[in-house]
Amino acid sequence: MFDFVRKHTKIMMALMFLLIIPAFVLVGVDGYRRMNEGGVSVAKVGSHSITQGEWDAAHKREVDRLRASMPNLDAKMLESPQARYITLERLVRDQVIAQATADSLLNISDARLARELQQDPTIGALRKTDGSLDMERYRQLAASQGLTPEGFVARVRQNLSERQVEAGFGATVFAPKALADVTLNAFFERRDVQISRFAPAQFFAKVLLADADIATYYQANQALFQAAESADVEYLVLDLDAVKKTIVVNEADLKTYYEQNASRLSSKEERRASHILINAPKDMKPAERQKVKETAQALLTKVKSNPETFAALASKNSQDPGSAAKGGDLDFFARGAMVKPFEDAAFSMKKGEISDLVESDFGFHILKLTDIKAPAQASFESLRAGLEAELKTQQAQRKFAELAEVFSNGVYEQADSLKPMAERLKLEVKTANGLRRTPQPGAEGVLVNPKLLAALFSSDATEKKRNTEAIETGASQLVSARISRYTAAHTLPLDEVRNAVKDRLMHSRATELAKKEGAASLAAWKTNAAAASLGDSVLVSREQTSAVKGLLLSAIMRADTAALPSWVGVDLGKEGYAVVRVNKVSARNTPAAETAAQEYAQYSQWLANAELQSYYQLLKERFKVKISVPQPSAETSLAAAAQ
């Protein structure tokens, strides 16, 4: 057969052409690309499918964003089934809104887009001092989101278009004042209640546990008794301090650097001047300030006509109490010690010269420069230590840029060990034991960096013990690490956690008894209120801070009060059970005008959100949304987080 192919190449090419080209016409290049991606559809919005790959990529972006903003956040929470499902729901919502935008033919004008970009604080931070946009930083901003500058603008335009879909509902919601008052008054009404609590601790003495009970509970709840994964690691840090240790400053370079910077490092030039100040605060009315200026001008004329009388005239006329008594003398001062107009004048004058009027925020000055102290040039030896440190830092910065590429390539190319790169760059291989995916509170150093930890606990690092890529953990700081010993999350032996298992089982059984006793008491007290064992009356409401809150408060405020007294039993979960008797319902206190306005605004927002949610549900039906992945239960997420 292969001989036939070689002998009839042209025939085979024609046959392949006839077979392949129609397939491209029917499926399209994008179709082939999707087929090659092999993405399994996890949700569908209209004719658009959301693939497993898109979901994974979106969740990775969300995890990276959250880790960057909250470095100490537990990574397992981010990877829980519930967290991943939330990301999928967000992708579905984005696609629903995008299709609604396209169907409604909503678009954004260039003027509206330009206004949005100008008002964006993130972009505003990229502007230079002259107001122009730093295009390099702008490209970096777009690239950080996986976009080109054009793609970034297109995304902003798309987001603005999509906001119009929801704005059409949210911005037009009308909340009648009367309806708001009825709702808010009911929400914030007060209720006089008596409560009897059945806490698990009250029933501990009634719980008897056998060894078999403990073993059975342990077997059924092993996810609750697991040791977190951990690793012993080696890591290599390339930073400026490490590079500095390898640098020896050449004596000739040091002297050249001294000659280039001697004037900068030597003492500053100082000048001595006397002045006459005629006060004129900057907030003085223009007409009054003009009169003061005329007075100062007349005094200047008198000074210039007889410069030798400057000190006497200063003592008599200057309104600067600190220098007038000394004939206006201000002693020596360097640049930066005086207000700028005064300084500019003093450092532009010759010794013995008298200035024209100098105007500052304090008023009008007449200056006489009395002396100039030239800067003393420091010797090479006196500056040597500082010069060497500066030059070493500069050389280290340049060398770091060169070594960074060597470091990044080396830890990747020799991925089974950090020692070759350590020897080549004269770096120390450091170690740490018992490292976990989530840093302990208060932990510091490069090993708390979320990107480094994510790389260390990836499958490539834990299973193959490979070096991580070179990860930037700070300014001019790269780190690569590898796992020398990995301990996966595992269930602890019963003997080690027996007390913890017993405590949990004890609390679980006591909670069951508490709920059973509470429910029985509720039934009995409803028929015989006189036998009820209740606490003192307490006034509760949603606008008061009290010991009654959470599930209990919510149940009290939802209780039917058509007939009083009203009884309600409340399952408090791990806290047991509560029986409540509602004795009286009172109207809320009339709120202050400002509070009432805030509450009305909040109510309007609630109503708008409800309308938007209803509209979104309608859109989901219109576009026939189907999510193929089952929504995880709270128990599933808890078990995943415990592993």
| Cα–Cα distance, 617 to 625 (Å, whole number) | 10
Q: What is the pLDDT of residue 379?
A: 75
Higher-scoring residue by pLDDT: 25, 534: 534
| Cα–Cα distance, 200 to 304 (Å, whole number) | 97
For the residues 430-441, what does the mean pLDDT come to? 87
**How many CA within 13 A on the CB side of residue 430?**
13
Tens digits of residue pLDDT in 567-590: 999 999 999 999 999 999 999 888
Higher-scoring residue by pLDDT: 15, 609: 609
Residue 75 one-letter amino acid: A
Q: Find out whether the peptide bond into 307 is cis, omega within 30 degrees of 0.
A: no
Buried b / exposed e over 177-214, threshold 16 CB at 10 Å, is: eeebeeebeeebbbbbbbbbbbbbeebeeebeeeeebb
> Is the predicted pLDDT of residue 26 greater than 50, yes or no?
no
Q: What is the pLDDT of residue 75?
A: 60
Give φ, ψ of 9 to 5 degrees.
Answer: -60, -45
Band of residue 506 on the pLDDT scale cut at 50, 70, 90: very high
> Is the predicted pLDDT of residue 33 greater than 60, yes or no?
no
| Cα–Cα distance, 456 to 481 (Å, whole number) | 7
Query: What's the Rg (C-alpha) of the chain?
Result: 39
Band of residue 633 on the pLDDT scale cut at 50, 70, 90: low
Helix or strand holding residue 390 (H, E): helix 380-413
CB 446 within 8 A of CB 452: yes
Least confident among 47-51, 178-182, 356-360, 445-449 = 178-182
| Cα–Cα distance, 46 to 631 (Å, whole number) | 20
> Is the predicted pLDDT of residue 359 greater than 80, yes or no?
yes
Helix or strand holding residue 600 (H, E): helix 593-622
**Long-range Cβ pairs for the range 500-503 (8 Å, 24+):** 500/225, 501/214, 501/217, 501/218, 501/221, 501/225, 502/209, 502/214
**How many CA within 13 A on the CB side of residue 118?**
8
- Percentage of the chain with pLDDT > 90? 43
| Cα–Cα distance, 580 to 540 (Å, whole number) | 12
Give the distance, in angstroms, between the CA of residue 55 and the centroid of all CA atoms in the same chain.
23
Q: What is the pLDDT of residue 202?
A: 96
| Cα–Cα distance, 566 to 529 (Å, whole number) | 11
Give the distance, in angstroms, between the CA of residue 106 and the centroid of all CA atoms in the same chain.
32
Q: What is the pLDDT of residue 10?
A: 46
For the residues 357-373, what does the mean pLDDT come to? 93
For the residues 155-169, what does the mean pLDDT come to? 73
For the residues 221-231, what does the mean pLDDT come to? 91
Band of residue 608 on the pLDDT scale cut at 50, 70, 90: confident
For the residues 609-629, what does the mean pLDDT come to? 87
Q: What is the pLDDT of residue 180?
A: 85
Q: What is the pLDDT of residue 3?
A: 45
Tens digits of residue pLDDT in 511-542: 999 999 999 999 999 999 999 999 999 999 98
| Cα–Cα distance, 636 to 79 (Å, whole number) | 12
DSSP code per residue over 496-546: HHHHHHHHHHHHHHHHHHHHHHHHHHHHHHHH-GGG------EEE-TTS--
CB 327 within 8 A of CB 314: yes
Token pair 């780190």 is at which residue? 479
For the residues 602-621, what does the mean pLDDT come to? 85
Mean pLDDT (the chain, rounded): 84
pTM for this model (two decimals): 0.52
Band of residue 606 on the pLDDT scale cut at 50, 70, 90: confident
> Is the predicted pLDDT of residue 507 greater than 90, yes or no?
yes
Tens digits of residue pLDDT in 72-95: 666 667 777 888 889 999 898 888
- Percentage of the chain with pLDDT > 70? 87
Query: How many H-runs (helices) and E-runs (strands) does the chain carry?
Result: 26, 17
> Is the predicted pLDDT of residue 228 greater than 60, yes or no?
yes
Higher-scoring residue by pLDDT: 475, 378: 475
Helix or strand holding residue 311 (H, E): helix 310-317
Residue 132 Cα distances to 144, 226, 230, 284, 619, angstroms: 21, 57, 50, 37, 42
> Is the predicted pLDDT of residue 638 greater than 60, yes or no?
no
Higher-scoring residue by pLDDT: 335, 419: 419
Token pair 């959250």 is at which residue? 66
Q: How far apart are the first and last CA of the chain?
A: 56
CB 365 within 8 A of CB 254: no
Q: How many CB atoms lie within 10 A of CB 24?
A: 11
| Cα–Cα distance, 391 to 249 (Å, whole number) | 7
Could you give the angle at the alpha carbon of 193 between the alpha carbons of 189 and 194, nearest 5°?
Answer: 165
For the residues 330-357, what does the mean pLDDT come to? 91
| Cα–Cα distance, 453 to 435 (Å, whole number) | 9
> Is the predicted pLDDT of residue 172 greater than 90, yes or no?
no
Is 89 strand, coil or helix? Answer: helix
- DSSP conformational letter for 301: H
Residue 87 one-letter amino acid: T
| Cα–Cα distance, 375 to 343 (Å, whole number) | 17
Q: What is the pLDDT of residue 495?
A: 94
Band of residue 15 on the pLDDT scale cut at 50, 70, 90: very low
Selection from 589, 574, 593, 577 nearest residue 542 by Cα? 589
